[in-house]
Amino acid sequence: MNTKPITSKGFRTAKAFILSYVCLFILFAAIGFLIRYTPLPERWMQLYVLAALCVSCFLIGLLTGNVIQKKGILFGALFTIIFVLILNAVTVLLTGSYSEAGILQLRYLPCVFIGSFGGMIGVNL
Q: What digits encode the pLDDT tens for the residues 40-96?
A: 888 888 899 999 999 999 999 999 998 888 888 898 899 999 998 888 888 888 887
Model confidence, pTM? 0.85
* Cα distance between residue 125 and residue 71, in whole Å: 13
Q: Where are the alpha helices (DSSP H) in the chain?
A: 6-37, 45-68, 72-95, 109-124
